[in-house]
Amino acid sequence: MKEIWDALVIGAGIGGLTSAAYLAKEGLRVLLLERSPHIGGTAYVYHRKGFTFPMGPLGFSHPSLVRKVFEELGVGEDLKFLKTHYRLHAFGLDLSLSFPFDQLKNELSTHFPEDAEGVGQFFKDMDDLIFNREKSYVSQNLPAFEYLQKLIKDERLRRLLGSLGTRKPYSALPLLSAMWNLMGNIGIWFPEEGMESFCERLKRAILRSSGSRSLIRLNKAVSKIRVDQGKVLGISLDDGTGIDSSFVISNADYKSTFLKLIDPKAIPQKWYDAISNARLTNSVFQVCLGIDAQKIDPSPFKQAERLIYRRENKLSDERELDWSLPRVDPQALAAQEIEVSLLGKDREKENKLSLVLRVEADYHHFARFRLGWRKRSQEYQSYKSQLAQALVHEISSLFPGLEKSILVMDIATPLTFEDQGGRSGGAVAGWSWDYEDFRDGQPKELILTPVKGLYMAGHQAFSALFMGGIPTALESGRRAAYALLKGEGPTEDISIPGGIP
Ligand SMILES: Cc1cc2nc3c(=O)[nH]c(=O)nc-3n(C[C@H](O)[C@H](O)[C@H](O)COP(=O)(O)OP(=O)(O)OC[C@H]3O[C@@H](n4cnc5c(N)ncnc54)[C@H](O)[C@@H]3O)c2cc1C
């Protein structure tokens, strides 16, 4: 006899888990299907020889929204969040980025006295854009790059203000102000019990709410969403099994859902084209290190657990990495901005430290090593180890002795985030943040689809991450569940950033 499911959810990332939990809470019988052998998607953490390493998030913002979701689902007990601090180690500065605006303004004015007035104006404009947008006199349509060019003389400062780091400003002003709001006002936080606790709580909410009526099935890759006459009928698994339901929530990203899982004829051409054209954020190259804490001096982490580092270079000597080459020079990669993060501070007691190094990386460069799902060409291992060694060597300038203190090293490339994390192009933060692609003052909800009964949940179900990744995924999961319960949609409106030529 065929099992009857009120709703199917594809993917057990934070968005899919949240949707399933809300539906189960409302008494629906939900089947959640996940391709990987674990829940969590990119919020998954894994363990190697006693060290804990992340697949993705190292923090989240909007703690009150996060808490509200867990409380509504009845799994918010004893939630404790620790504030995460960011510090810049670049441009000859050693400076907190997590200060409130007033403090940051004072610090930066001391370091850049010639730009003191511009710094004051910058934070006033950011304040206006965050809290008083209608009255703000700053032209919201200006690229951050152009705005800062006029306001600030020192290029190092333009980069710092324009990217919260060392990169050239790339976004529009509303998105930049949202990022400063997260960093300086609301803060970046970390769950005391670790990122995996979020996924475990959501899992508990799904299974507890509905007794044994709802299920999570791992190692179940959905290969098709079946649609007939504009309505969803169910899904097919890659082993050929068909499962019926009139409601499906997809936590697979947009490109996977609409370019791989659905017959293109089942959706309007303009919808298909918009998703094909839309660009995503870049990916990262990541090196996770298990460190013998007795062999290094961890004091650079005393004031902040996240360090934004860049080698001291004259900006005029700086070279853009040419990702179109078959190999990039490991030294050139090491000269880019590197985010250095300390995970599991408490493990210091056991003389174990987990360090994560991340540098922006181009998916297409690594795609040439891809032979299939989790299959790589022979040179991949040695190439990625050369790149990783260069990053480790570079970071030894902050932590002398680092190279000799390594007990475990695990390297991830954009291909890892694509295969293990389920992310098209290994993209870290959803739709492109570039000025050319996104300039709205507010993110738009992208939960409804042109297929009746099909909804989207996850970080791409909003047009931009003004709240940061985790809260966006939680909120989208909640909204997708309520849209389904109310029978909303379908829609042919397209608000995908950069999707409409
Ligand atoms: C390197 C990196 C760093 C990040 N750092 C941060 C951070 O510091 N702070 C922050 O807030 N956010 C961060 N993010 C973003 C963060 O991961 C997300 O915001 C959040 O975890 C995404 O959840 P999601 O619901 O979009 O699902 P995802 O994590 O994208 O998971 C989607 C799930 O769907 C599954 N799936 C896909 N296709 C199928 C299919 N056909 N069949 C079955 N299952 C399928 C995948 O296996 C996966 O489990 C980071 C992401 C990355 C990659």
Which pLDDT value is given to residue 145?
A: 96
Q: Ligand 1 centre from 264 Cα, in Å?
A: 24
Which pLDDT value is given to residue 263?
A: 97
pLDDT-wise least confident of 67-76, 263-272, 301-310, 489-498 = 489-498
Note if the pTM is more than 0.85: yes
Which pLDDT value is given to residue 142?
A: 86
Which pLDDT value is given to residue 415?
A: 97
**Listed residue (41, 12, 38, 7) closest to 210, CA to CA:** 7
Banded pLDDT at 141 (limits 50, 70, 90):
confident
Query: How remote is the C-alpha of 141 from its chain's centroid?
Result: 25
Which pLDDT value is given to residue 187?
A: 97
pLDDT at 345 over 70: no
**Gap between the Cα atoms of 343 and 172, Å rounded:** 32
Q: Ligand 1 centre from 290 Cα, in Å?
A: 24
Architecture of domain 7-47+63-80+193-279+432-486: 3-Layer(bba) Sandwich (3.50)
Minimal-distance CA residue to ligand 1 atom 49: 41
Minimal-distance CA residue to ligand 1 atom 8: 57
**Listed residue (448, 454, 451, 459) closest to 493, CA to CA:** 448
**Listed residue (3, 14, 2, 1) closest to 480, CA to CA:** 14
Q: Which residues' Cβ are closer than 6 Å to ligand 1?
A: 10-16, 33-36, 41-43, 56-60, 221-222, 251-252, 256, 284, 417, 421-423, 428, 458-459, 468-470, 473
Minimal-distance CA residue to ligand 1 atom 37: 252
pLDDT at 265 over 80: yes
Which pLDDT value is given to residue 344?
A: 66
Q: Ligand 1 centre from 42 Cα, in Å?
A: 4
Residue 85 · residue 98 · CB < 8 Å: yes
Find all residues with CB under 8 Å of 430, minimum gap 6, and list them.
Answer: 253, 280, 281, 459, 460, 462, 464, 465, 469, 472
Which pLDDT value is given to residue 241?
A: 96
What sign has the CA pseudo-torsion 105, 111, 112, 114? positive
Task: Give bridge partners of residue 354 from the DSSP assignment.
Answer: 290, 343
**Gap between the Cα atoms of 293 and 386, Å rounded:** 24
Minimal-distance CA residue to ligand 1 atom 3: 56
- Mutation to probe ligand 1, out of 9, 22, 42 (largest number of atoms < 8 A from CB): 42
Q: What is the pLDDT of residues 352-388, one digit of tens each?
A: 899 999 999 999 999 999 999 889 999 999 999 999 9
**Gap between the Cα atoms of 165 and 340, Å rounded:** 12
Banded pLDDT at 296 (limits 50, 70, 90):
very high
Question: Domain-by-domain residue ranges, the chain?
Answer: 7-47+63-80+193-279+432-486, 99-186, 283-426
Q: Ligand 1 centre from 465 Cα, in Å?
A: 13
Q: Ligand 1 centre from 203 Cα, in Å?
A: 16
**Gap between the Cα atoms of 255 and 272, Å rounded:** 9
Q: Which atom of ligand 1 is nearest to the CA of 286?
A: 1
Q: Span 113-133, mean pLDDT?
A: 93
Q: What is the pLDDT of residues 61-97, one digit of tens each?
A: 999 999 999 999 999 999 999 999 999 999 999 999 9
Which pLDDT value is given to residue 494?
A: 87
Q: Ligand 1 centre from 72 Cα, in Å?
A: 22
pLDDT at 3 over 70: no
Q: Which atom of ligand 1 is nearest to the CA of 461?
A: 26
Q: What is the pLDDT of residues 196-217, one digit of tens each?
A: 999 999 999 999 876 769 999 9
Average pLDDT, the chain: 94
Minimal-distance CA residue to ligand 1 atom 16: 469
